[in-house]
């Protein structure tokens, strides 16, 4: 998007725990971290090695006829494959075996053993591969929530969304472009829940989404072995420039009671925020009892009240 303000994501090298917690984490902004030790995975996770170690255990994957996946309109289907077969297909540009078309795209987001109750944990779902991946110790062990194995076909692009927990995206193999938007730009992203309705962030239809140009675009390219710190509530959109394997590590940075205990994915709004949004819907329903001009007037007063009470002045 040539019309948007473009900002670079800062890059830090040889970051240890002390440096991260002192110089990076308090800023609450994305940061690329280079030369952080991730273990032998960066060298060893080839297609053949992953297929051998992952074996024939079945995995549920997204399959789409086009590389830009759209979670709002579900332009993909879920299919089950043995892991070794999946990894071979995901690495191909064209497929001799396929579900939809020979150029379909694949995406794996690992799940817990009980998908309704347990968060993903690489150590439980793929213990042989977990031995190769060293989780950076940038948070306390009791804060750990999940480690999500992600594998993408070349060219695969995932929808813009936010998460409610801090996370580190470890790009183990392949190159990936990541575009991020600040939480303060939420007003310009045309949200439905935690996802943006703007699917094409590079050549956006500005007649349909005119406010999108007001959002500032942070962009970075992750090389194999890079880490990206994504603070909670920062929107992100990923594009696999090559076949790629990564691991997302999420941790709880708010008190444990702040989070929905029945959320194994870690993407439901905090309990207090959910209550506020529910109250807002009830309030808007009451507002509809007034004539339209009164609705407009009191809605504007509500906005002013919210701005004065809840907006951060230096954000």
Tokens of 87: 């990894």
Collapsed DSSP state (helix, strand, coil) of residue 299: helix
Tokens of 191: 């949200």
Q: Does position 156 have pLDDT exceeding 80, yes or no?
A: yes
> Could you tell me where the beta strands, DSSP code E, fall in the chain?
6-8, 11-13, 31-34, 58-64, 77-82, 105-109, 144-152, 157-161, 166-173, 176-181, 191-192, 195-196, 217-222, 226-230, 235-240, 244-251
DSSP notation for 158-199: EEEE--SSEEEEEEEES-EEEEEE-GGGGGGS-EETTEES--
| Segment 103-113 mean pLDDT | 94
CA 135 to chain centre: 18
Q: Does position 108 have pLDDT exceeding 70, yes or no?
A: yes
* Domains contained in the chain, CATH given: 6-258 (2.60.120.650), 271-310 (no CATH)
What pLDDT was estimated at residue 315? 63
Tokens of 9: 């994501």
Cα angle: 217, vertex 223, 224; to 5 degrees:
140
Q: Which sign does the torsion angle of CA 157, 162, 164, 170 carry?
A: positive
User: What digits encode the pLDDT tens for the residues 176-233?
Assistant: 999 999 999 999 999 999 999 999 999 999 999 999 999 999 999 999 999 999 999 9
| Single pTM value for the model | 0.94
Phi, psi of 99 (to 5 degrees): -100, -40
Tokens of 167: 């996370």
Gyration radius from the chain CA atoms: 21
User: What digits encode the pLDDT tens for the residues 5-25?
Assistant: 999 999 999 999 999 999 999
The band of 255, judged by pLDDT with boundaries at 50, 70 and 90, is very high
Q: Does position 155 have pLDDT exceeding 70, yes or no?
A: yes
The band of 114, judged by pLDDT with boundaries at 50, 70 and 90, is confident
What pLDDT was estimated at residue 205? 94
- The rounded distance, in Å, linking the Cα atoms of 114 and 264 is 9
| Segment 271-297 mean pLDDT | 96
Q: Are 119 and 163 in contact (CB under 8 A)?
A: no
How high does pLDDT run on average in the chain? 95
Collapsed DSSP state (helix, strand, coil) of residue 314: coil
Which residue pairs from 121-128 have beta carbons closer than 8 angstroms and sit at least 24 positions apart in sequence? 121/146, 121/147, 122/147, 122/148, 122/149, 122/247, 123/147, 125/149, 126/53, 126/54, 128/53, 128/54
What pLDDT was estimated at residue 267? 86
Q: Are 239 and 157 in contact (CB under 8 A)?
A: yes
Q: Does position 169 have pLDDT exceeding 70, yes or no?
A: yes
């Amino acid at each position: 998007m040539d019309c948007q303000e473009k900002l670079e994501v800062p890059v830090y090298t040889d970051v240890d725990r002390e440096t991260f917690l002192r110089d990076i984490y308090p800023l609450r902004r994305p940061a690329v971290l280079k030369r952080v030790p991730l273990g032998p995975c960066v060298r060893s996770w080839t297609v053949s090695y992953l297929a051998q170690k992952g074996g024939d255990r079945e995995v549920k994957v997204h399959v789409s006829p086009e590389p830009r996946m759209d979670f709002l309109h579900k332009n993909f289907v879920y299919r089950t494959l043995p892991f070794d077969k999946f990894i071979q297909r995901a690495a191909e540009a064209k497929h001799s075996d396929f579900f939809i078309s020979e150029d379909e795209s694949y995406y794996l987001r690992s799940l817990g053993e009980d998908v309704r109750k347990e968060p993903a944990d690489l150590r439980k779902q793929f213990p042989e591969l977990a031995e190769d991946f060293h989780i950076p110790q940038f948070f306390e062990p009791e804060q750990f929530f999940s480690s999500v194995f992600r594998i993408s076909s070349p060219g695969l692009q995932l929808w813009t969304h936010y998460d409610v927990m801090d996370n580190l995206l470890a790009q183990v193999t392949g190159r990936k472009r990541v575009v991020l938007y600040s939480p303060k730009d939420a007003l310009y992203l045309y949200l439905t829940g935690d996802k943006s309705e703007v699917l094409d962030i590079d050549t956006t239809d500005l007649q349909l989404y005119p406010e999108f140009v007001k959002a500032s675009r942070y962009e970075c390219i992750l090389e194999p072995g890079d880490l990206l710190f994504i603070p909670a509530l920062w929107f992100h959109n990923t594009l696999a420039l090559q076949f790629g394997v990564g691991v997302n590590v999420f941790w709880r940075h708010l008190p444990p009671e702040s989070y929905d205990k029945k959320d194994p994915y870690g993407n439901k709004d905090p309990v207090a925020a959910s209550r506020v949004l529910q109250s807002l819907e009830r309030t808007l329903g009451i507002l509809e009892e007034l004539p339209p001009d009164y609705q407009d007037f009191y809605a504007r007063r509500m906005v002013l009240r919210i701005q004065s009470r809840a907006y951060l002045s230096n954000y």
